[in-house]
Structure 1
Amino acid sequence: MKFMRLGFICTVFWVNAALAVSVTQRAGNNFRTAANNQEFTLNKNNVNPEHFGLLRTYDFNAKVETQPLVLENGAGADDLVIVTTMKNEVIGINARTNDTVYKVKLGPEISSQDMDMWKHTPTWGISATPIIDPASNTLFVASWQKKNNDNRFRDYWVYALNPLNGSQKSKPVRIFGQSQEGNGCWFNDAGATYRQNNQTKQYVYPKMRAGLALTANNGLVMAFAANGESYQGGRKNPHGFVVAFDTRALLGQPGFSKNAAIFCASAFNSWGAGIWQAGGAPVTEDDMVYVATSNGTSNNGDVDLAESMIKLRFKPSVGGARPELQKVDFYKAFLDERVAKSKCLWQDNDSEVSCGRAGAGSAGADWDFGAAGPMLVPGSRLLLQGTKDGIIYSLDKFQLGQNDRFNQLLSKPPLVATYYGGGTAENWDRVQHLNRSLPCPAAGNSDHGWFVPCGDPENNKMHHIHSLALAQRDETGGVVYVWGENSRLKSYNFSTQDGNLPTFRAEADDLASVGVESPGGMPGGLLMVSGKPSTTTGFAHAIDFDSAIVWAVFSKFGDANKEFAEGQLIAYDAATMLPGNKLQRLFRTGDDNNGGLGKMSRMIPPVVANGKVYVMIYRVGTSDCTVPDNQLPVCSQLKVYGLK
């Protein structure tokens, strides 16, 4: 069995004579395109119920919330699948024999009664997808652990491991420190404690979901939100953080600081701006880092950057000094808190998309600009971002616009990804004006009923976006795929050239979360594209559209966030359009009345590599799944699909 090694930094492919490659990071590459253009086994002729199906499974005695990684020839002549769990385990699996190559426990997991809103995540440990650095052959993992084996206090540690056997290359490093902006934020603030039942506990915990990333200049980048996401005041406030280490220090090389560069996205007395990104890792390019933030304080100029795209520069350790994260630029999509009328574009701030979106007296509405991870179109200046308001924003990485959100036009009109079914007559003029503040349509106005951006999102069509994928044709563009909640998979022709607007291409018939009213039905579809490299262009990221397939795991029935949803693995022809602008389905695991996959994992996309498709699901209530404190037994299972 052979697997892909998808891009480090510039999406460079390491390919041997047998075309075996490895998956080393979330979404396949640092651009987060979720595309593998080195798939030579699976194609449109053999991905069908007759030739393609389930090959094997592997059960875990813990919940898994991270994407599997695959290392070519990592188990002798066989390939190695690396999975991390919420019990702080790193597990290597022989991809051919299904045997456990190694199982390493990094530290005590946390019992999560105080931070499990839906009561189905019994423990917290490794919750962010690790990353393999090909240059040093190192697996970097962030592990959340009890402090001194006391569940009242928690610490994050960074491990540098040998991916072949899980052994430690150097001592782990604790993540702790003050941010570098002078705004008073502390990561894992030891002073933010309170007393409950005569016991002292930490008040706010940094909480990590976004995958790890690497810069081209020895930076290991991590992004955090917090367990509590509402305003509390002073030392008790939650904050979004970007933390970066010099990888040479983590490997124990002398002359480099083991202290972390820490960027806080909101001020000490502000709150929020957490970085979740549905598990997606930050985008990195050279020494630049891009992250998208969510709810919180966003009224205070360039200090409070909730609901924003933030561009940072990683500056490595020099002469033993602490590395830095330098703020370069930002785009503030909208204001998430009530502000004075004089600070809004119009006096009636209820009529503005970008001002006063929260209700009076509210700490903020649940809009989450950072609902998906950002995606940078390779070879271009275009940065795409999927949000909870059902829109894909297109930004210019060289000029994000900062606070000038009304007059600084987007680099492309935003794509109405989940409100509108498509067709040739989409109202681009209306969409293009979104960024310049769009008055709410009159109640009952059917002409504009497909897009209602104002007011409380709970009462509007909030088809959240949690995943994007790109099939790139050449330097001039390609096709963008998105599958929002309660919606269908949609595709858009997307150009990197000025003046060429996006156009709707095609959509699928399959609907996510059948019978679940919006909002709800999380997460929609989680996507990946596979195919052979293009033979018509020398552009490294281009894919052969004659072989390209779009893969998705989606919630067929139910909501995978608040409950357990019946999932389905499905594959579509990425390029061929049927009459009526429809995508052609090649394979699915169930019929119209059955998902056929099992209980889908909330935010883990499928991994496609050299003839195999790796899908993670939940196992609920099984006898071999042990959890603490009489909590609901929830563990995971890896399903491997391929040619029969």
Structure 2
Amino acid sequence: MTCMRLGFICTVFWVNAALAVSVTQRAGNNFRTTANNQEFALNRSNVNPGQFGLLRTYDFNAKVETQPLVLENGAGADDLVIITTMKNEVIGINARTNDTVYKVKLGPEISSQDMDMWKHTPTWGISATPIIDPASNTLFVASWQKKNNDNRFRDYWVYALNPLTGSQKSPPLRIFGKSQEGNGCWFNDAGATYRLNQQTKQFVYPKMRAGLALTANNGLVMAFAANGESYQGGRKNPHGFVVAFDTRALLGLPGFSKNAAIFCATAFNSWGAGIWQAGGAPVTEDDMVYVATSNGTSNNGDVDLAESMIKLRFKPGVSGARPELQKVDFYKAFLDERVSKDKCLWQDNDSEVSCGRAGVGSAGADWDFGAAGPMLVPGSRLLLQGTKDGIIYSLDKFQLGQNDRFNQLLSKPPLVATYYGGGTAENWDRVQHLNRSLPCPASGNSDHGWFVPCGDPENNKMHHIHSLALAQRDETGGVVYVWGENSRLKSYNFSTLDGNLPSFRAEADDLASVGVESPGGMPGGLLMVSGKPSTSTGFAHAIDFDSAIVWAVFSKFGDANKEFAEGQLIAYDATTMLPGNKLQRLFRTGDDNSGGLGKMSRMIPPVVANGRVYVMIYRVGTSDCTVPDNQLPVCSQLKVYGLK
């Protein structure tokens, strides 16, 4: 299992003599560092407007909400780009010729807008980034489909495909069942129904955003939220789930259970704890799985785990028994449950804005600890989590801390990454009472149903975090990049050594979502780092700082969540600092007055592989975009950038 433990090289990138790579999963690797340290074609000298630009585009007649995957030499001598759509299509594209290698449809998509409060997602199908298992040469895809061709009821199916052809390796398996904690949760509960306009409909739907993940012991891991996250009562409550299959069962091998391990993040009579992570996949290491949950019921116990980091162990079934997801540890960032003051975990109630103050189901409880996917720094105990409160939490993977929300953090004070560009003194003042930088209930913005942060944060706005990226120097640390909403790209020196606090390094000048009021301006910047492998250390994950580039797709104008935002692809020198602690811009589409990219996709980061940069955008209202009646025509386009 050495290859699987290395992860970054073996599980994620296949490296051949030509120094090419395959990107086989969300955020590049199982640690979710969103980094490719095997990029030899693109560098800081040739990524400029004169040498680098748009090469080609590929139009889809469906909306795409998943990250492209790239198979080196998957189309003969050319790379194969794999795209999945919200019409349940899996499409293979020749990266050089732009020809369609294959196009398969897995099942009937859902024709409904009851899954999208902003009314611009006409169909639902494959909404989570698939994953390729290099060991078995298998593409695993989760597909959301109509049940018995009745749009009122839906099912999830898991497919094992040949990534080179799209053909099925074995029959798909349906995701359905009861959780294993004895708390009464059912995944895809067909009994939770209601009557509307003389029609019976399924009340609660699992909603999948987070990418798929693999463990080193044959586990395929999927994480789910739900459509809506407010208290409904009984079996109508939405829940967050982690589901895992044994990949050998998915491949049809005998002797392995076809049932899934199912973990429910809250009790039957509680609600929420959805796992969406802005599309980011769970972190996996050996048999361990890390997920970050969002709004819902949270208390001082170990059952209702909303607003938490959860550590699970995947245990394959023995002799055909059902596999398990065993809860190992957890960390609770704050409390959203409505409780009386005497039941608060800490006595200083005035500094705990979410203890006994956040109205359940209201916008005021929209903290979303799981607003980004977690990142595990390779070779270390350091687990990072970006959140809606603008903080990067630094956790110890060996001791998450459970209800001790401050003392167990590896970096104390926690880094208030998108509020301040400066030193730890300001950070300490912001968070010395645990989550003091959370929004204040006593704000002047209550007429809009939202809170603004306490104190005087940057631009007086909450800068939600939806993406992190890492340029790792060696086992002792590296540079972490974050681009919050309504903010600028910022970089921080992060150390894996005990007692070394993170420190501000540099920031860019470009501002996300210019002119958009907070909260808004989603998602800020979605990031990826590329460069050559380091020659100064033998550590497999280290990147050459002299070649490193940090790439971003960001909402230059507008909000990419509630509307369609003008996006921009941009590249910076990842490590050189200009006077005033500024990052040097190398390339951007458009200029100060134009994004130049088109309508950015909401949560898809750029993918850099073998001299090309793959970026997804939306196409709105085009004649070739076919959608169900009375639905907004929204489809997608793949843009491929590279050396001209």
1:534 shift after superposition = 0.3
1:422 shift after superposition = 3.0
Q: 1:199 to 1:568 in 2, by over 3 A?
A: same
Answer whether contact 2:471 2:529 (CA < 8 A) is retained.
yes
Q: 1:586 to 1:8 in 2, by over 3 A?
A: closer
Counterpart residue number, 2:505: 505
Q: 1:232 to 1:501 in 2, by over 3 A?
A: same
Q: Deviations over 1:43-74 (max 9, x none)?
A: 01000000000000000000000000001111
Counterpart of 2:18 in 1: which secondary structure? coil
Q: 1:136 to 1:463 in 2, by over 3 A?
A: same
2:557 aligned with 1:554: no
Q: 1:327 to 1:171 in 2, by over 3 A?
A: same
Looking at structure 1, the residues matched to 330 and 357 of structure 2 have their Cα atoms a distance apart, in angstroms, of 20
Counterpart residue number, 2:134: 134
Answer whether contact 2:223 2:241 (CA < 8 A) is retained.
yes
Counterpart of 1:412 in 2: which secondary structure? coil
Q: Deviations over 1:149-193 (max 9, x none)?
A: 000000000000000000000000000000000000000011111
Looking at structure 1, the residues matched to 265 and 641 of structure 2 have their Cα atoms a distance apart, in angstroms, of 41
Answer whether contact 2:439 2:452 (CA < 8 A) is retained.
no
Looking at structure 2, the residues matched to 142 and 411 of structure 1 have their Cα atoms a distance apart, in angstroms, of 37
Counterpart of 1:385 in 2: which secondary structure? strand
Looking at structure 1, the residues matched to 149 and 218 of structure 2 have their Cα atoms a distance apart, in angstroms, of 32
Answer whether contact 1:231 1:363 (CA < 8 A) is retained.
no
Answer whether contact 1:621 1:633 (CA < 8 A) is retained.
yes
Looking at structure 2, the residues matched to 444 and 547 of structure 1 have their Cα atoms a distance apart, in angstroms, of 47
Q: Deviations over 1:334-391 (max 9, x none)?
A: 0012211111255563431452341489596100000000000000001000000111
Larger deviation, residues 503-512 vs 423-432: 423-432
Counterpart of 1:101 in 2: which secondary structure? strand
After superposition, residues 26-425 of structure 1 pair within 5 angstroms as 26-299=26-299, 301-345=301-345, 349-353=349-353, 355-359=355-359, 365-422=365-422
1:241 shift after superposition = 0.1
Looking at structure 1, the residues matched to 18 and 322 of structure 2 have their Cα atoms a distance apart, in angstroms, of 43
Q: 1:536 to 1:8 in 2, by over 3 A?
A: closer
Larger deviation, residues 44-53 vs 439-448: 439-448
Answer whether contact 2:3 2:11 (CA < 8 A) is retained.
no
Looking at structure 2, the residues matched to 579 and 536 of structure 1 have their Cα atoms a distance apart, in angstroms, of 26
Q: 1:604 to 1:579 in 2, by over 3 A?
A: same
Q: 1:78 to 1:241 in 2, by over 3 A?
A: same
Looking at structure 1, the residues matched to 122 and 512 of structure 2 have their Cα atoms a distance apart, in angstroms, of 27
Looking at structure 1, the residues matched to 461 and 302 of structure 2 have their Cα atoms a distance apart, in angstroms, of 30
Q: Deviations over 1:88-114 (max 9, x none)?
A: 000000111100000000000001222
Q: 1:434 to 1:556 in 2, by over 3 A?
A: same
1:196 shift after superposition = 1.6
1:428 shift after superposition = 3.4
1:424 shift after superposition = 8.0
Answer whether contact 1:523 1:561 (CA < 8 A) is retained.
yes
Counterpart residue number, 2:614: 614
Q: Deviations over 1:547-566 (max 9, x none)?
A: 00000000000000000000
Q: 1:461 to 1:535 in 2, by over 3 A?
A: same
Answer whether contact 2:336 2:356 (CA < 8 A) is retained.
yes
Q: 1:625 to 1:452 in 2, by over 3 A?
A: closer
Answer whether contact 1:8 1:134 (CA < 8 A) is retained.
no
Larger deviation, residues 339-348 vs 247-256: 339-348
Counterpart of 1:364 in 2: which secondary structure? helix
Counterpart of 1:414 in 2: which secondary structure? coil
Answer whether contact 1:94 1:100 (CA < 8 A) is retained.
yes
Answer whether contact 2:187 2:241 (CA < 8 A) is retained.
yes
Amino-acid identity (%) = 95
1:423 shift after superposition = 5.8
RMSD: 3.7
Larger deviation, residues 358-367 vs 93-102: 358-367
Q: Deviations over 1:457-479 (max 9, x none)?
A: 99973211000000000000000
Looking at structure 2, the residues matched to 275 and 196 of structure 1 have their Cα atoms a distance apart, in angstroms, of 28
Answer whether contact 1:3 1:21 (CA < 8 A) is retained.
no
Could you tell me the TM-score, scaled by structure 1's length?
0.95
Q: 1:37 to 1:302 in 2, by over 3 A?
A: same
Q: Deviations over 1:512-554 (max 9, x none)?
A: 0001011100000000000000000000000000000000000
Q: 1:144 to 1:8 in 2, by over 3 A?
A: farther
Q: Deviations over 1:288-341 (max 9, x none)?
A: 000000000002511100000000000012100000000000000000122111
Structure 1, unmatched stretches of 5+, are: none
Larger deviation, residues 404-413 vs 214-223: 404-413
Looking at structure 1, the residues matched to 568 and 437 of structure 2 have their Cα atoms a distance apart, in angstroms, of 38
Larger deviation, residues 458-467 vs 612-621: 458-467
Could you tell me the TM-score, scaled by structure 2's length?
0.95
Larger deviation, residues 106-115 vs 144-153: 106-115
Q: 1:619 to 1:451 in 2, by over 3 A?
A: closer
Q: 1:361 to 1:516 in 2, by over 3 A?
A: closer
Q: 1:425 to 1:360 in 2, by over 3 A?
A: closer
Answer whether contact 1:357 1:456 (CA < 8 A) is retained.
no
Q: 1:40 to 1:395 in 2, by over 3 A?
A: same
Looking at structure 1, the residues matched to 414 and 449 of structure 2 have their Cα atoms a distance apart, in angstroms, of 18
Structure 2, unmatched stretches of 5+, are: none
Larger deviation, residues 162-171 vs 454-463: 454-463
Q: 1:519 to 1:450 in 2, by over 3 A?
A: closer
Counterpart of 2:505 in 1: which secondary structure? strand
Q: 1:156 to 1:440 in 2, by over 3 A?
A: closer
Looking at structure 2, the residues matched to 14 and 627 of structure 1 have their Cα atoms a distance apart, in angstroms, of 38
Q: Deviations over 1:254-301 (max 9, x none)?
A: 000000000000111100000000000000000000000000000251
Larger deviation, residues 580-589 vs 402-411: 402-411
Counterpart of 1:3 in 2: which secondary structure? helix
1:610 shift after superposition = 1.1
Q: 1:595 to 1:174 in 2, by over 3 A?
A: same
Q: 1:150 to 1:579 in 2, by over 3 A?
A: same
Q: 1:492 to 1:231 in 2, by over 3 A?
A: same
Answer whether contact 1:331 1:400 (CA < 8 A) is retained.
yes
1:413 shift after superposition = 3.0
1:443 shift after superposition = 8.2
Q: 1:188 to 1:119 in 2, by over 3 A?
A: same
Answer whether contact 1:353 1:453 (CA < 8 A) is retained.
no
1:132 shift after superposition = 0.1
Answer whether contact 1:215 1:221 (CA < 8 A) is retained.
yes
Answer whether contact 2:210 2:222 (CA < 8 A) is retained.
yes
Q: 1:491 to 1:564 in 2, by over 3 A?
A: same
